[in-house]
């Protein structure tokens, strides 16, 4: 897409989802950080189910360390990779206490140094909690960037850099949520619903017209 097409695409999403926000349930930077770590290869819905009890018993880093690995694991057994995630949540809580006084740092390098925290997780925390125009590229945004022509790239970093170049600076921070939700509910992996896409016109997906017309005929 050209920059003009990108603005048209993002503006359409913005107008359809003016109040878009993360679907993870959190109350502060610590609970958001832990929720995002737990969301790897798991749905936000499944994570929200387990964090109700987890955050009730361990609302901060000190309480999480006191809960221990087995205590954390007992809360999160229903989500994918729960054993590794329990280890990471315990370790990152220990790191927060030892290095940051129990507080979540607002620096990317410090965040990415925490157990279980990669670039995507750090970007979510920086965007949502600290107001930075960071673009966290998950599977939904990676798919959209390539499928629509908004920011094609072979790696998540390439898509991230393409989005930062094309999306207007004043729209970059909230576009993180618009793109995730659009990919989750409309531009889905197996069955994109082009017929109800608000950004149909600027989208460069080669099969969009075919999908849209076939669904119209079926309806």
- The residues annotated as belonging to the active site are 120, 138
Alpha-carbon distance 13 to 25, whole Å? 23
Nearest to 169 by CA among 5, 13, 7: 7
Nearest to 80 by CA among 52, 53, 124, 50: 50
Using CB atoms within 10 Å of the CB of residue 178, give its burial: 0 to 12 exposed, 13 to 18 middle, 19+ buried. buried
Place of tokens 């390439």: 158
Place of tokens 């329990």: 86
Q: Is 98 annotated as a binding residue?
A: no
Nearest to 11 by CA among 144, 175, 142: 175
Show the tokens assigned to 199. Answer: 């950004």
What is the DSSP annotation of 169-190? HHHHHHHHHHHHHHHHHTS-SS
Helix (H) or strand (E) holding 120, with range, is helix 119-128
Show the tokens assigned to 146. Answer: 């390539």
Q: Is 194 annotated as a binding residue?
A: yes
What residues are designated binding site for [4Fe-4S] cluster?
187, 194, 197, 203
């Amino acid at each position: 897409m050209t920059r003009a097409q990108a603005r048209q695409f993002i503006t359409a999403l913005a107008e359809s989802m003016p109040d878009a926000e993360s679907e993870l349930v959190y109350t502060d930077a610590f609970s958001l950080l832990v929720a995002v770590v737990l969301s790897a290869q798991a749905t936000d819905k499944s994570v929200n189910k387990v964090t109700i009890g987890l955050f009730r018993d361990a609302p901060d880093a000190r309480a999480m360390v006191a809960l221990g690995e087995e205590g954390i694991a007992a809360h999160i057994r229903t989500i994918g990779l729960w054993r590794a995630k329990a280890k990471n949540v315990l370790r990152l809580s220990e790191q927060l206490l030892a290095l940051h006084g129990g507080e979540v740092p607002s620096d990317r390098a410090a965040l990415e140094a925490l157990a279980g925290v990669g670039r995507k997780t750090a970007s979510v925390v920086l965007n949502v909690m600290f107001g930075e125009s960071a673009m966290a590229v998950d599977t939904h945004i990676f798919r959209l960037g390539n499928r629509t022509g908004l920011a094609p790239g072979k790696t998540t970093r390439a898509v991230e850099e393409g989005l930062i170049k094309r999306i207007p600076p004043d729209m970059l921070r909230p576009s993180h949520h618009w793109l995730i939700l659009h990919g989750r509910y409309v531009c889905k992996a197996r069955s994109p619903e082009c017929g109800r896409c608000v950004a149909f016109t600027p989208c460069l997906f080669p099969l969009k017209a075919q999908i849209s017309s076939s669904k119209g005929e079926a309806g």
